Amino acid sequence: MAEGGNAVIDIHQVSFRYPEQETYALKDISFQVYEGEWLAIVGHNGSGKSTLARLLNGLQFPETGSITVGGLPLSEENVWEIRRRVGMVFQNPDNQFVGTTVQDDVAFGLENHGVPRDIMVERVHDALERVRMSAFLDREPHHLSGGQKQRVAIAGIIALQPKVIILDEATSMLDPVGRKEVLGTIRELKSEVGLTVISITHDLEEAAQADRMIVMNQGQVYKEGVPREIFQMDEKLIALGLDIPFPVKMAKALKTIGFDFPMIYLTDEELVDALWTLHLSK
Amino acid sequence: MMEKMIFGRYIPGDSVIHRMDPRSKLIFVFVFICIVFLANNAVTYAILTAFTMLVMLLSKVPVRFFINGLMPILWLVVFTFFLQLFFNREGQLVFHYAFIRIYSEGIRQGVFISLRFLLLIFLTSLLTLTTTPISLTDGIEMLLSPLLKIKFPVHELALMMSISLRFIPTLMDETEKIMKAQMARGVDFSGGSLKDRVKAIIPLLIPLFVSSFKRAEELATAMEARGYQGGEGRTKYRLLVWRPADTLSLCSLAAVTVLLVLFRDGGIL
């Protein structure tokens, strides 16, 4: 579904290194993000994933190369407009909660962009409705669970009505329930509002659900493709310090005792289907 | 840990006082602190006490919260009381035993000054008990806004205040966590000599500082990513509304001030 769509983000030969460092955090990276897709970026620690996210939001500027967001080139003048278009949810739910209460936090971004108060109230309520947190308007952050805080963070972003939402390991500090909740919320939003999602993640089950994946290795794009293609690499992924999702592992283990599967299965359901039909055909 | 903390604690409620504008409450408390010093005899103290009681009743906050708020400062109240009692040498000698001499004026002053303390503590804790931290910050920002003319960073101050308030519980939780983690490794926080105790604080303090720095950095990044560019060009989500009750409360305070001036010793009457 991705190829051929309109590119929302165009990254062209971008290199970046942190000040006073010899090695490049990102080296000669080029790819495009298409409208309405779910792109997962995976890679081991220090492969440059998070740096990439910071570049997309103008928190850092590339040393060479160019980044274009929705036709707007990233530069000092455009950076605030780009931040309005590209929302970012960070890893630690506690450290990105600015407001004293839930509604203040959602309003924070709107206040920054000078949105008039009556529109602000409407958007805050609407955004909280969407993430199913409207019952928590006046709650303080320390009374919320991690998953709830992340949902508030997402509400704060969608209140700004961005085109792209970047999840910078947004679920990595959550328990499995919270993770499922947050991802479910984003998936719903994506189909409702037509968001483009860039998810930077260690969670391969999550990446397996994406439309497209980019594997990063030592500051470079190692491989780009749909999850099924990527997880075919199997041993190579493990050599890169990554893992493979459980169904793929399971199928692999079954293969060693004589089962034969025609393809890669990414979800439990696909594998279960394959197993019971296999049993029937025997 | 949070349960014992009364300082800056807000008790949700729905009373006249809760609904008042934070600005009027701040002005009210400030003026009250000043006029408490006008009282210098039984009548004026009676007026002040009655007035404070009335305000406390109106707030519908359970008395135990006021008592809790008082606890940490109680020793100061008691200390000043005894200081007056034993060292004030005016008036008649009431009691004499060995080296202890208690004079009538000492008792009078002791009672008055402790009462003054109590009134101040009750009214100031009423402010935090009935006002959410965020509206307090809003109120302070608005009241300080004239200072913008002399380039005082009012918005920055208000933002700092609201962020600190928001992080108090988070940091308390973290302190407790670090404390327990260090206790699990054998650090003894509760026993030993003064020197040992101070030493035991270090493995608590350093990680707390380091993590606060990290927190601050992450928070700043998140704020920037959400378009925070400073106070200019920002709109406000919270709205402060000045109601008749606010004007009324300040008028009543003015009336009390007039009464105090009339009835105090050396006053007009």
Q: Which residues of B touch A54 (CB under 8 A)?
A: 221
| Contact assignment for A100 to B165 by CB distance below 8 Å | yes
Name the minimum distance, in Å, from the CA of B60 to any CA of chain A. 21
Using 50, 70 and 90 to split pLDDT, how confident is the model at A1? very low
Q: Which residue has the higher pLDDT, A91 or A235?
A: A91
| Chain-centroid distance, C-alpha B187 | 34
Average pLDDT over residues A196-224: 88
Give the one of A59, A92, A140 whose C-beta lies nearest to B224's C-beta: A59
Based on the fold, state whether residues A272 and A185 are members of the same structural domain.
Answer: no
Q: What is the pLDDT, as a whole number, of residue A41?
A: 93
Using 50, 70 and 90 to split pLDDT, how confident is the model at B2? very low
Based on the fold, state whether residues A150 and A262 are members of the same structural domain.
Answer: no
Based on the fold, state whether residues A60 and A170 are members of the same structural domain.
Answer: yes
Based on the fold, state whether residues A134 and A81 are members of the same structural domain.
Answer: yes
Based on the fold, state whether residues A197 and A271 are members of the same structural domain.
Answer: no
Q: Which residues pair with A12 in a beta bridge?
A: A66
Average pLDDT, chain B: 85
Q: Which residue has the higher pLDDT, A4 or B184?
A: B184
Based on the fold, state whether residues A186 and A273 are members of the same structural domain.
Answer: no
Average pLDDT over residues B53-64: 87
Chain A residue nearest residue B172, CA to CA:
A142
| Contact assignment for B226 to A116 by CB distance below 8 Å | no
Q: Is residue A2 part of a domain?
A: no
Q: What is the pLDDT, as a whole number, of residue B9?
A: 67
Q: What is the pLDDT, as a whole number, of residue B8?
A: 57
Q: What is the pLDDT, as a whole number, of residue A153?
A: 92
| Contact assignment for B239 to A117 by CB distance below 8 Å | yes
Q: Is residue A131 part of a domain?
A: yes
Q: Which residues of B touch A83 (CB under 8 A)?
A: 224-227
Q: Which domain holds residue A250?
A: 245-281
- Its pTM stands at 0.79
- Determine the residue among B18, B159, B161, B237 to mutate to test chain A binding: the one whose Cβ has the most chain A Cβ atoms within 10 Å: B237
| Contact assignment for A96 to B228 by CB distance below 8 Å | no
Q: Is residue A1 part of a domain?
A: no
| Contact assignment for A117 to B235 by CB distance below 8 Å | yes
pLDDT digits (tens, 9 = 90+) for B110-168: 899 899 989 998 888 888 888 887 788 889 888 998 998 998 888 888 888 888 888 88
Based on the fold, state whether residues A217 and A92 are members of the same structural domain.
Answer: yes
Average pLDDT over residues A130-145: 88
Residues B226 and A239: their CA atoms lie apart, in Å, by: 37
Alpha helical stretches, state H, B36-185 = 42-59, 63-87, 104-130, 133-144, 154-184
Give the one of B218, B225, B239 whose C-beta lies nearest to A83's C-beta: B225
Based on the fold, state whether residues A76 and A215 are members of the same structural domain.
Answer: yes
Number of domains in chain A: 2
**Which is nearest to B145 in space by CA: B76, B236, B207, B212?**
B236
Residues B266 and B268: their CA atoms lie apart, in Å, by: 7
Average pLDDT over residues A223-230: 88
Chain A residue nearest residue B231, CA to CA:
A112
Residue A211 tokens read as 């439309």
Residue A40 has pLDDT above 90, yes or no: yes
| Contact assignment for B227 to A109 by CB distance below 8 Å | yes
Highest mean pLDDT among A121-125, B9-13, B259-263: A121-125
Residue B1 has pLDDT above 50, yes or no: no
Based on the fold, state whether residues A255 and A208 are members of the same structural domain.
Answer: no
Q: CB–CB of A236/A230 below 8 Å? A: no
Q: What is the pLDDT, as a whole number, of residue B124?
A: 86
Based on the fold, state whether residues A251 and A200 are members of the same structural domain.
Answer: no
Radius of gyration of chain B (CA): 24
| Contact assignment for A108 to B170 by CB distance below 8 Å | no
Residues B118 and B114: their CA atoms lie apart, in Å, by: 6
- Ranges of each domain in chain B: 2-263
| Chain-centroid distance, C-alpha A157 | 13
Least confident of B85-89, B217-221, B245-249: B85-89
The residues of A whose Cβ lies within 8 A of any Cβ of B are 54, 57, 59, 80, 83-84, 87-88, 90, 92, 94-101, 103-104, 107-117, 120-121, 124, 140-142, 156-157, 160
Average pLDDT over residues A54-58: 88
pLDDT digits (tens, 9 = 90+) for A246-267: 888 888 888 888 887 777 788 8
Based on the fold, state whether residues A123 and A50 are members of the same structural domain.
Answer: yes
Residues A120 and A110: their CA atoms lie apart, in Å, by: 7
Name the minimum distance, in Å, from the CA of A266 to any CA of chain B. 33
| Contact assignment for B237 to A140 by CB distance below 8 Å | no
Based on the fold, state whether residues A22 and A135 are members of the same structural domain.
Answer: yes
Least confident of A222-226, B52-56, B85-89, B104-108: B85-89
Average pLDDT, chain A: 87
CB neighbours of B49 closer than 8 A, spacing ≥ 6?
A: B115, B119
Q: Is residue A224 part of a domain?
A: yes
Rounded to 5°, the CA angle A37-A43-A47 comes to 120
